[in-house]
Amino acid sequence: MRVSIFDYGAGNMHSLAKALGAPGSELVIEPDPVRAIDTDLLILPGVGAFGAAADRLGAGRNTMREAIRRGLPTIGICLGMQLLFEASEEGAGEGLGVIAGRVERLCAAQVPHIGWNSVEPSDRTSLSVATPATVYYANSFVCRPTDESVVAAWTTHESDRFPAVVRAGTAVGVQFHPEKSSTPGVRFLRELIAASPAWRRTT
């Protein structure tokens, strides 16, 4: 199984690559958005700023968007999840627009939201993979989908409730960092990767 990480200059690439190193998979780090979609599974990593990441999509934005819409299994992590949406208050530029909605600043006194917090599964959509009960977050912005039926799990920071996990077709986004969430987080990520080939058959 070929797994491609789209490298748009985000940090934390080493720990993510280590977490993704599941047996039987070939891992590729690709800075070109068009070449990145020549894969069995596309990973949009976390850490970084929305505007800079959107800029790196460049002319390849539409090509990547259409590949995901046609059924390319995709996992977006933190910033990568936010790139699945249309736009962000954090910076200029277009996201992929695979999921309708915007990314907005967290409504809380303490921003950024850093540390361990819950994952509360929703009954509106299924991942077929169980999420850990507690995971590690590091975010100042959160996703606000137009249609909440895409939300597979929620979390709450202070009084702001926002999606922890979303799924639209073959694209899954997680606001937390599974690669920083100890053994349960890495297990979840690897189980998600193992389940991804079946997404094409069920969507």
Tens digits of residue pLDDT in 88-116: 999 889 999 999 999 999 999 999 999 99
Which residues have C-beta within 8 Å of that of residue 112, sequence separation ≥ 6? 106, 138, 139, 140
Is the pLDDT score of 12 beyond 80?
no
**Domain parsing of the chain, residue ranges:** 2-202
Q: Which residues are catalytic?
A: 78, 177, 179
Q: What pLDDT is attached to residue 14?
A: 72
Tens digits of residue pLDDT in 63-82: 999 999 999 999 999 999 99
Phi, psi for 176 (deg, rounded to 5) = -85, 175
Assigned CATH class of 2-202? alpha beta
Amino acid at 189: L
Q: Say how many Å lie between the first and final Cα of the chain, rounded.
A: 20
Q: What pLDDT is attached to residue 18?
A: 76
Tens digits of residue pLDDT in 168-185: 999 999 999 999 999 999
- In angstroms, rounded to a whole number, what is the distance separating the alpha carbons of residues 79 and 11? 11
Distance of CA 93 to the CA centre of its chain: 18
Mean pLDDT of 156-161: 96
Mean pLDDT, the chain, rounded, equals: 91
The answer to whether the beta carbons of residues 56 and 33 sit under 8 Å apart is yes
Centre a 10 Å sphere on the Cβ of residue 120 and count the other Cβ atoms it contains.
Answer: 14
